[in-house]
Amino acid sequence: MTRISGEGTKKSLLPPGTLGHPGDPDRIPDSGSNGNAYVPSLAFNPNSDYSLTSSDAICSWYETGVSGQYRIKFAVWNHQTGWSPGTLGHPDDPDRIPDSGSNGDARYPSISFNPNYDYSDTSSDAICSWYETNANGDTGHYAIKFAVWNHQTGWSPGTLGHPGDPDRIPDSGDDGDARYPSLAFNPNSDYSLTSSDAICSWHETGAGAGGNRAIKFAIWNHQTGWSPGTLGHPGDPDRIPDSGSNGDAYAPSISFNPNSDYNSTSSDAICSWHEYSVEGQVRIKFAVWNHQTGWSPGPAFIPDSGDDGSAASPSLAFNPNSDYSDTSSDAICSWYETGVSGAYRIKFAVWNSSITSNGYTLNISENQGHQSIKTFGGLYQYVYIPVQALSQPNSSSHTVKHNNETIPHIIKDNLLIFHHTKDTSKPITFTIEHDSGSTAIQFNP
């Protein structure tokens, strides 16, 4: 795992913004004009006609309103003229996204453009979601609200949300307070009556095992609007599998794979979040979405997350230019983590869709050539077994089991690698099944 740290170079890689607020060119216009401005979310428009009047990008943020309430504001970017304050927002407050702050404080917007829209005067060109206090009309909990952008008519409050509460994403706030939405459109959607055109995820109190916070989700269709997730955790279909199973789950980040081959086994999207692990450390977990089979949990945690300290607030994005080979960087997840020295630093992991069953690449150079276990806090973590140590090293397939439980694994650099968390004070045996039988590998304390 590679860590980004240090002071960097003195030479700036990017020039400061120059087409922003009059007299303050690197400031997005009117941000902070009513009060403190926080947590921007920016998205480029893939369908822009790139003209002098086109909306090439939108930035949204939350800001204290005139009345003292937090509201979602926005500005529009044009590649020739730069930023301009939003003008097609709330009727009485044109740079405010409509109805944000109407129930209570509105915070943490997440905006995404629709790559499949038909660019008509009724199309849903983009959606912005946010969480808002008292927005669940049934429970009074925080809930996720949304608004829809059209390039001709501007923003309008959501109308295809929860029954009786149309600008609220369905079921958000039903279990407890819903916060920190992450919204993404699906570039591979066939844009039919039943397609999953976008997904919004968020964390919610009381939605996981034992009342833990968990990651919930809902699906957007351009014709029928939002519906609660239906292919999630067994017995809890609008929860992303295994989120909240170890401890509280927070701050999801979702991204669709633009290079997916869109079959029954493809990784069409990934959602990552941070969660307390069984040993009490905060680590980054993830799950994979397939448009036919729904969500499936990733094996354990993203490698090395939480190894130095608590890991939090992941940000995940797929690479649209990946050549999709067995060495390509198909996606990257980054997060902040307490460093060895106590300072927060940014760490990351790389996802490859073709060579590993769990995707994320491990740095295993120090373990090559011998059997070993990496431990953390008295618990087994990554197990490394040279393939040549097995009785059938050239087997076409291997299955790793412990107590009849199948454990996801990868084979890389002639090492069979898997993740399993167990107490290191007791012997443990893993069974490797292959073409002509099985091999037992025992580790002793």
47 vs 56: CA distance, rounded Å:
8
pLDDT of res. 439 = 76
Q: What mean pLDDT comes out for the span 31-51? A: 94
Whether 344 shows a pLDDT value over 80: the answer reads yes
- Domain-terminating residue out of 308, 339, 361: 361
Residues 357 and 372 in one domain: no
Distances (CA, A) of 294 to 51, 71, 129, 162: 39, 34, 22, 21
Q: How far is CA 47 from the centre of its chain?
A: 23
| 98 and 127 both lie in a single domain | yes
Rounded mean pLDDT, 350-354: 76
Query: Could you give the CA distance from residue 40 to residue 75 in angstroms, rounded to a whole number?
Result: 11
User: Same domain for 146 and 241?
Assistant: yes
Q: How would residue 70 be classed by pLDDT, with cut points 50, 70 and 90?
A: very high
Question: In terms of pLDDT, which residue wins out, 349 or 182?
Answer: 182
Are 270 and 350 part of one and the same domain? yes
The residue ranking higher by pLDDT, 445 or 224, is 224
* Band of pLDDT at residue 419, cut at 50, 70 and 90: low
Q: Return the CATH number at 440.
A: 2.60.40
- Model confidence band, residue 385 (pLDDT cutoffs 50, 70, 90): low
- Integer Cα distance of 407 and 404 in angstroms: 9
Q: Are residues 337 and 381 in the same domain?
A: no
Q: Tell whether the model's pLDDT for residue 364 goes beyond 60.
A: no
What range does the domain containing 431 cover? 367-445
CATH number at 107 reads 2.115.10
Mean pLDDT in the chain? 83
- Kindly give, in sequence order, each residue whose CB lies less than 8 Å from that of residue 394, ignoring residues fewer than 6 positions away: none
Looking at the fold, whether 182 and 255 belong to one and the same domain comes out as: yes
Answer yes or no: do 298 and 213 share one domain: yes
Rounded distance, CA 403 to CA 368, Å? Answer: 27
Average pLDDT over residues 78-95: 94
Judgement on whether residues 279 and 146 belong to the same structural domain of the protein: yes
- Band of residue 260 on the pLDDT scale cut at 50, 70, 90: confident
Residues 310 and 402 placed together within one structural domain of the fold? no
> What residues contact residue 219 under an 8 Å CB cut-off, 6+ apart?
196, 197, 198, 199, 226, 227, 228, 229, 230
Instruction: Say yes or no to pLDDT of 161 above 70.
Output: yes
**Residue range 293-339, pLDDT digits in tens:** 999 887 668 878 888 899 999 999 999 998 877 678 889 999 999 87
pLDDT of 12 over the 60 cut: no
pTM of the model: 0.79
Give yes or no: residues 38 and 132 share one domain. yes
Among 331, 361, 391, which residue terminates a domain? 361
What is the structure's pLDDT at 356? 38
Pair (377, 356) in one structural domain: no
- Decide if pLDDT at 367 tops 60: no
Q: Which residue has the tokens 């087994």?
A: 380
Q: Rank 43-47, 394-398, 433-437, 440-444 by mean pLDDT and report only the highest.
A: 43-47
Domain-ending residue, one of 327, 361, 395: 361
Are 330 and 440 within one domain? no
Check residues 377 and 276 and name the one with the higher pLDDT. Answer: 276
Number of domains comprising the chain: 2
| pLDDT at residue 402 greater than cutoff 90 | no
Structure tokens at 222: 């351009």
To 10 degrees, the CA torsion angle through 385, 388, 391, 396? 90
| Region of poorest pLDDT, from 183-187, 241-245, 267-271, 392-396 | 392-396
